[in-house]
């Protein structure tokens, strides 16, 4: 499971200030699902955004968030994408960009990048989001 650090964009969020929930069960998105996990770009040796001493480096989180923000419009143009965020990969501990999708298909997996500007992307199947 990846710890979500900041979810900056979610499609369909309520205009009344209510918080979106990732799925009908009200559970937070998880980045460990085998079907939704993208790897190995970039590797730690290639300058990936790594955790230091178990705590995400705020500069690396900010960098990933800036990169995510620059790509959000293009990512949301892909049918099936319901949100984006910045999190920590459970397999490597690196700061990653998460793309939340309703249902992960081969077509959708091919349509989304494995990395954005050198930051690894994890695709997370969440189901639909709805405002509460």
Domain range summary for the chain, segments of one domain joined by +: 3-131
Give the pairing of strands 81-88 and 95-101.
antiparallel
Q: What is the pLDDT of residues 38-90, one digit of tens each?
A: 433 333 433 455 544 478 889 999 999 999 999 999 999 999 999 999 999 98
Does residue 99 carry a pLDDT above 50?
Answer: yes
Contact in structure between 122 and 96 (CB atoms under 8 Å): yes
Q: How far apart are CA 21 and CA 27, in angstroms?
A: 7
Q: How confident is the model at residue 132 (pLDDT cuts 50, 70, 90)?
A: confident
With 0-12 / 13-18 / 19 or more C-beta atoms within 10 angstroms meaning exposed / middle / buried, residue 76 is: middle
Confidence at residue 127, expressed as pLDDT on a 0 to 100 scale: 82
Share of residues in the chain with pLDDT > 90 (%)? 49
Does residue 30 carry a pLDDT above 90?
Answer: no
The pTM for the full model equals 0.63
């Amino acid at each position: 499971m990846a710890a979500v650090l900041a979810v900056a964009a979610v499609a369909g969020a309520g205009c009344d200030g209510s918080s979106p929930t990732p799925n009908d069960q009200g559970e937070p998105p998880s980045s460990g699902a085998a079907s939704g996990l993208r790897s190995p770009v970039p590797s730690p040796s290639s300058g990936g955004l790594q955790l230091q001493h178990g705590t995400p480096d705020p500069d690396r989180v900010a960098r990933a968030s800036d990169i995510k923000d620059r790509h959000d419009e293009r990512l949301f143009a892909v049918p099936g994408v319901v949100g984006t965020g910045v999190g920590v990969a459970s397999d490597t501990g690196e700061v990653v960009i998460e793309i939340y999708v309703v249902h992960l298909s081969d077509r959708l997996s091919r349509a989304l990048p494995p990395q954005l500007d050198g930051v690894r992307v994890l695709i997370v199947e969440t189901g639909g989001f709805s405002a509460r």
